[in-house]
Amino acid sequence: MCKKSGWLEILGSGMIDPEVFRFVGYDPETYTGFAFGLGVERIAMLRVGISDIRIFFENNLQFLSQF
């Protein structure tokens, strides 16, 4: 994950492509929209200092009891 550049990607976002609107039946000339997505685990990792994302799915009591 760390590219050692001093920056870490935490979310992607942008304007919804008009083709996507057409696909689901919205007229892109009438509607515009934006979307974003972030990984909750990653944000939690950054906020609290967890080192490995797999820890979230191990369900080790030593981890669960900390929060």
Partner 1 sequence: MKISFQWLKEYVDVHLTPKELAEVLTHSGLEVENLSEANPSFQGVIVAGLRSFRSHPQSDHLFLCTVHDGRKDYSIVCGAPNLKAGEKVALALEGATLPSGIKIEKSYFQGVLSEGMLCSEKELGLSDDAVGIMLLDPTLPLGSSLDTALPLKDWILEINVTPNRSDCLCLLGIAREVAALTGQSLRYPPERVEEKTSVTESQTSVKIERADLCPRYVAQLILGVHIASSPFGVRRRLAALGIRSINNVVDATNYVMLEMGQPLHAFDFDRLEEKRIVVRTAGPREIFTTLDGVARPMPEEALMICDGKRPVALAGIMGGLNSEVSPETKNILLESAYFDPMGIRRTSKRIGLSTEASLRFERGIDPNGCVRAADRAASLMVEFGGGSLPHGPVDNYPRPIPPCKIRLRVSRVNQILGTAILDQEIRRTLEKLELGTELKEEDGFQVTPPTFRVDLRREIDLIEEVARLHGFHRIPVTLPSGTLSGEKKTKIQRVAQQAKRLLNSFGFWEVINYSFISPKMLQNLKLPMPDPRARALRIHNPLNEDQSIMRPTLIPGLLQVACTNAHRQNFNLKIFEMGKVFFPREGQELPEEIAILSGLIMGLRREESWSTPKEESDFFDLKGFWEVLGEGLGIENCRFLPAAEEPFLHPGKSCRVEAGGKILGIMGEIHPEVAESYELKPNVFLFELDFQKIAEEASEHRTFRPLARYPAVTRDLSLIVEDRIAAGDLLQTLWDANKGLINEINLFDLYRGTPIPQGKKSLAFRLKYQGEDRTLTDQEVNELHQGIINLVRERHGATLR
Site for partner 1, rule CB under 8 A: 3, 5, 15, 17-19, 32, 56-62, 64-65
Q: Using the minimum distance from each CB to partner 1, give the nearer residue, 2 or 47.
A: 2
Half-sphere exposure of 65 (CA within 13 A, CB side): 3
Q: Which helix (H) or strand (E) holds 55?
A: helix 55-58
**Cβ of residue 42: shortest distance to partner 1, in angstroms?**
16
CA distances from 57 to 8, 41, 47, 53, 61 (A): 22, 10, 18, 8, 11
Q: Using the minimum distance from each CB to partner 1, give the nearer residue, 48 or 64.
A: 64
**Cβ of residue 46: shortest distance to partner 1, in angstroms?**
19
